[in-house]
Structure 1
Amino acid sequence: MSELPLRAQLASVLGRSAAGLSRATGRGDGSVIGGRVALKVAPDLLGELSRGRRLALVSATNGKTTTTRLIAQALREFGGVATNEYGANMPTGHITALSSDKSAVNGVLEVDEKYLPQVIEATQPAFVVLMNLSRDQMDRASEINLLAKKWRTALGKTNTHVIANADDPLVAWAGLGAPNATWVSAGQRWKEDSWCCPECGGHLKRDTDPYWECPECGLARPRTTWSVDNDADTLVAPDGQRIKLQLNLPGDANRANAAIAAATAAGYGIHPERTIDRLREIKSVAGRYTSVVTMGVEVRLLLSKNPAGWLESFAVLDPPRVPVILAVNAQVPDGKDTSWLWDVDYRVLRDRRVFVMGERRTDLALRLETDGVPFEVADRVDEVLGRLKSERPDITKVDVIANYTAFQQIRTAYGRVQ
Structure 2
Amino acid sequence: MQDASPQRGSEPLSPRAKLAVTAGKMAAAVSRTAGRGSGSVIGGKVALKLDPDLLARLATHLDVVLVSATNGKTTTTRLIAEALRANGPVVSNALGANMPAGITSALAGGSDAKYGVIEVDEKYLATVARDVRPKAIALLNLSRDQLDRAAETRMLAEKWREGLSGTDAVIIANADDPLVAWAASSCPNVLWVGAGQEWKDDAWSCPSCGGVMQRPGDDWGCPECGFRRPPTTWALSGDYVIDPHGTAWPITLQLPGRANKANATTSAAVAAVFGVAPKVALDRMQSVTAVAGRYDVVTYLGRELRLLLAKNPAGWLETFSLIDQPPAPVLLSVNALGADGTDTSWLWDVDYTRLAGHPIFVIGQRKLDLAVRLEVAGLTFRVCENVDEAVRAAPAGRIECIANYTAFQQLRRQVGG
What TM-score results when the alignment is normalised by the length of structure 2?
Answer: 0.96
Q: Distance in 1 between matches of 2:121 and 2:52?
A: 19
Q: Which amino acid aligns with 2:186?
A: G
1:400 has 2:408 as partner: no
Q: Distance in 2 between matches of 1:408 and 1:246?
A: 28
The 4+ residue runs of structure 1 with deviation greater than 3 A are none
1:298 has 2:297 as partner: no
Asked if the contact 2:208–2:227 (Cα under 8 Å) also holds between the matched residues in 1, the reply is yes
Equivalent residue number for residue 147 of structure 1: 156
Equivalent residue number for residue 316 of structure 2: 310
Equivalent residue number for residue 98 of structure 1: 107
1:380: Cα distance to partner? 2.1
Q: Which amino acid aligns with 1:136?
A: D
1:229 has 2:237 as partner: yes
Q: What SS does structure 2 have at the residue aligned with 1:317?
A: coil
Structure 2 residues not aligned, in runs of 5+: 1-9
Equivalent residue number for residue 260 of structure 2: 254
Count of matched residue positions in the alignment of Structure 1 and Structure 2: 408
1:127 has 2:136 as partner: yes
1:13: Cα distance to partner? 1.4
Q: What SS does structure 2 have at the residue aligned with 1:400?
A: strand
1:349: Cα distance to partner? 1.1
Deviates further, 332-341 or 313-322: 313-322
Q: Distance in 1 between matches of 2:291 and 2:97?
A: 14
Aligned partner (choices 19, 33, 48) of residue 57 of structure 2: 48
Asked if the contact 1:127–1:160 (Cα under 8 Å) also holds between the matched residues in 2, the reply is yes
Q: Distance in 2 between matches of 1:157 and 1:225?
A: 21
1:371: Cα distance to partner? 0.7
1:85: Cα distance to partner? 1.4
Q: Distance in 1 between matches of 2:277 and 2:127?
A: 31
Deviates further, 377-386 or 397-406: 377-386
Aligned partner (choices 170, 177, 182) of residue 186 of structure 2: 177
Deviates further, 234-243 or 165-174: 234-243
Q: What SS does structure 1 have at the residue aligned with 2:292?
A: coil
Equivalent residue number for residue 224 of structure 2: 216
1:208: Cα distance to partner? 2.3
Equivalent residue number for residue 213 of structure 2: 204
Q: Which amino acid aligns with 2:270?
A: T
1:158: Cα distance to partner? 1.8
Q: Distance in 2 between matches of 1:305 and 1:79?
A: 33
Asked if the contact 1:16–1:100 (Cα under 8 Å) also holds between the matched residues in 2, the reply is no
Equivalent residue number for residue 289 of structure 1: 295
Residues 155-170 of structure 1: matches in 2 within 5 Å?
Answer: 155-170=164-179
Asked if the contact 1:296–1:396 (Cα under 8 Å) also holds between the matched residues in 2, the reply is no
Q: Distance in 1 between matches of 2:323 and 2:110?
A: 38
Q: Distance in 2 between matches of 1:201 and 1:160?
A: 28
Deviates further, 379-388 or 343-352: 379-388
Q: What SS does structure 2 have at the residue aligned with 1:32?
A: helix
Q: Distance in 1 between matches of 2:202 and 2:183?
A: 15
Q: CA RMSD in A?
A: 1.0
Asked if the contact 1:128–1:161 (Cα under 8 Å) also holds between the matched residues in 2, the reply is yes
Equivalent residue number for residue 69 of structure 1: 78
1:3 has 2:12 as partner: yes
